[in-house]
Structure 1
Amino acid sequence: MTVKLHESAYDYARSLIEAGKYVIDERDDWSEHQPSTRQENDFIAEHGYREYGRWHLGIDDAEPEDTKARYRFPFGDFVKVHRCGVLAAESRAGQRKYVDIERAAAHLHGMLDAVRTAQHTPH
């Protein structure tokens, strides 16, 4: 199994954050905010696996392209990046020693925390 950073998904996540398409939620919210199996299947049916993969920071090139198993470390709900999803990806990547994915998630985490800080700073 070769899991590596899915560069285009990382770029996509950064662009979504820069465009204001994010949710500043708490670490433990991911279990409730992550897409359900049905939502994943509906998204794949409508948009295909390539688009599905754009929502995952990891890619397992040992898995076939048209399978969910190919894509790891989801970070959003197919509409917005979720801080809780980024935190979950960062933690799990660190536990599994996927350093490139952990670093990418940490960068996204930093971007979201900067936004959160800016939102709470009086102007």
Structure 2
Amino acid sequence: MNILFVEDDAMNRRVVRDMLTVAGANMDEATDAETGLRMIDEREYDIVLMDLRMPGMDGLTAIRLLRARPDSKASVPVIVVTADTALDICQSCVDQGADEVILKPVAMNKLFDAIGRLIARGAQPILN
């Protein structure tokens, strides 16, 4: 499974990478939304993990741009990973095109549950 994590915090990326490695997934990293969108242009991903608050473009804007693409990459599943606990944040993320939302700090069971739900809904992993 190929996963892209768009997150500006190195420690958060490291923790999630360690979790995904246990499951045998490959994870690429982008430190900002612009880079993440370029990486999606260049490679196929099964899932994108997207932080909301990053320097430059925020995660919601990146999700809107991704969903507006004219190609099949517009439908890549997106899991928002956020520390924002505002009551309406989950609904706002879904309204902008996110498939799932999990809160930081990321717990392995929450991450794997979200990935499992996406697979159950028909997201087909790319086999390496």
TM-score relative to the length of structure 2: 0.28
TM-score relative to the length of structure 1: 0.29
Greater Rg, structure 1 or structure 2? 1
More strand by share: 2
Larger RCO (CA under 8 A, 6+ residues apart): 1
More helix by share: 1
